[in-house]
Structure formats: structure tokens, C-alpha cells
A and B are shown apart, each in its own frame.
Chain A
Amino acid sequence: MAEAIVFIIFAAVALVGAVSMVSASNPVYSAMGLLTSMFAIAVLYVVLDAHFIAAVQVIIYAGAVMTLFLFVIMLIGVDKSDAYGTQVPLQRMMTAIVAVGLFGAIALAGRAAWITGSNAFGTPGLNGTAEAIADELFGTWMVVFLSTVMLLTIAAIGTIALAYFKGAPDAEVAE
């Protein structure tokens, strides 16, 4: 019962945060909405016994990624002129139809498996501690883990390369 209450509260918080992220006209408010949503998802991870993933969610997403987003928002300034797209006629209505249709399609596609698939909440014996994840990560998935190390190194090098990129000599003229 307690799980049901926690789920309902934080699912509502996650949805409200996500909707406010999409609908806010100011990018800073969008970032705050996404931050709210990520914290709520972290709580849901705890409900799902994924404690380590919940901690990583808060540290990486809410900590590092959103800080980076806010830095870039402050760096390039808040431009309110581009709040909503107006290029395509009826863009908002069509977007709403696409989003609702996608949700309905996902629900319909998974309906058979979802309704019959679960007997009780949670499987006893699964405990998402750092130790359990590390056993799996540094055992079976060692090669994949090392390739993510390579991926992060490449991303860091690419970011440095982009930061040193001064642009074409006529970049100011093209503006």
C-alpha cells in the first residue's frame, strides 16, 4: 500500500515536471521541470529496489547533466522568441495527436504482456546494490564497459576539439 501511494505521488510529479518542461517558454523553467522529473524518477527507482541506479540518477542526471544544461543556457542567453514552433500550420495540434497516438500504440502493443505478466509487485531476491551491479558489470559485460570508457574518452576529445574550433575566417561575415 505504501508503495502504491509513493508511486502515485511521484508518477504525478514526474508527469507534471515533464509537461512543464515542454510547455515552459523560458528554457530555465524547462530545465527546472526536467530536474523535477528526474528526481521523481529516482524515487521510483528506489521503489523498484534499484538503489544504486537511483543514486547514479541523482548524481549524473540531476547533478552533472542538468548543471551542464544550465551553464549552457546561461552562456548563450535566454531567447524567448523561439518558444513554440510556428513553421508548420496546426503544429501544436498535430504534435498532440502524434504524442497521444504514440502512447496509445505503445500501450496497445504491450497490453497482452503487461496485464498478464505480473503477479505481485517486485521479485524477492533482486537487490540493486552497487555490489550486485558490479558483479554483473565487471564480469559478463566487461568488454561493453571498456567500450563505454572508450566512448567517454572520444566524447571528451570531441568536446575539446569543438571548443578549440574558432570557425571559418568568414564566420563573422556570414552572419
Chain B
Amino acid sequence: MTITITWFLLLAAALFSIGVAGVLIRRNALVMFMSIELMLNAVNLTFVAVSNELGLIEGQVAALFVMVVAAAEVTIGLAIIVAVFRTRSSANVDELAEMKG
């Protein structure tokens, strides 16, 4: 049994779907954020798998850029969550539904 790229891409699709489910089902802002990170990881896996399949290094460079964007996103997102928590004392997004105050 040989492992082809199909298996990696299917795994990445499954991880992405689990991340989507996490964003939809969880109401804790931190866990939703982790689900987004999981989706970014799944996309990275796709990039690297296709890079390996086609013999092009550009896929790995793209994965590196995705990691940089994810790092920037994490710093800003967590700062926003902490700032919201300081004023509202909650990380539950359902309690932050209205865009006032």
C-alpha cells in the first residue's frame, strides 16, 4: 500500500472540516480562535503536500507565509479577546452579540 498525495489532501480536508465545526459549535472565543488555527494548519498541510507532489518549493514558501500571517493574527486576536474580557468579563461570543458599549 503506497501513500499518495490523495491521503494527505483528504486528511487536510478532514482537519479543515473539524475546524469549521469548532467555529460553529463553540461559543468560547478562545476555542473558536484555536479552530481557526486548525484550519490554517490544514491549509498548510495542503500546500506542503502539493509542493511535494509537483516538486516545487513554492508551496513550502506559501506555507511559511501562512504561518507568518497566522502569528500576526494570533497576537492581534488574543489582544482583542483580552481587551474585551477586561471590559465585559466574558469570553463568550453570545454575550457580545450587540455592537454597542
Contacts and interface: CB of A to CB of B under 8 A. Distances in A.
A22 B94 contact: no
Contacts of B44: 41, 53, 57
**Which of A72, A81, A144 counts the most B-chain CB atoms under 10 A from its CB?**
A72
Interface in A8-52: 11, 14-15, 18-19, 21-22, 27, 30-31, 34, 37-38, 41, 44-45, 47-50, 52
Q: How large is the interface on B (under 10, 10 to 19, 20 to 34, 35 or more residues)?
A: 35 or more
A41 B41 contact: yes
30 contacts: A7-B8, A15-B14, A18-B38, A22-B35, A41-B44, A48-B51, A61-B70, A64-B71, A65-B74, A79-B92, A82-B91, A82-B92, A84-B26, A85-B27, A94-B24, A95-B25, A107-B13, A117-B53, A121-B3, A126-B57, A128-B48, A128-B57, A132-B57, A136-B58, A159-B76, A162-B80, A167-B83, A168-B87, A174-B101, A175-B88
Given A82-B91, A136-B61, 18 more contacts: A3-B2, A31-B34, A50-B52, A52-B60, A61-B70, A64-B71, A76-B30, A76-B85, A81-B92, A83-B28, A84-B25, A85-B27, A137-B61, A141-B61, A159-B75, A162-B83, A171-B87, A175-B87
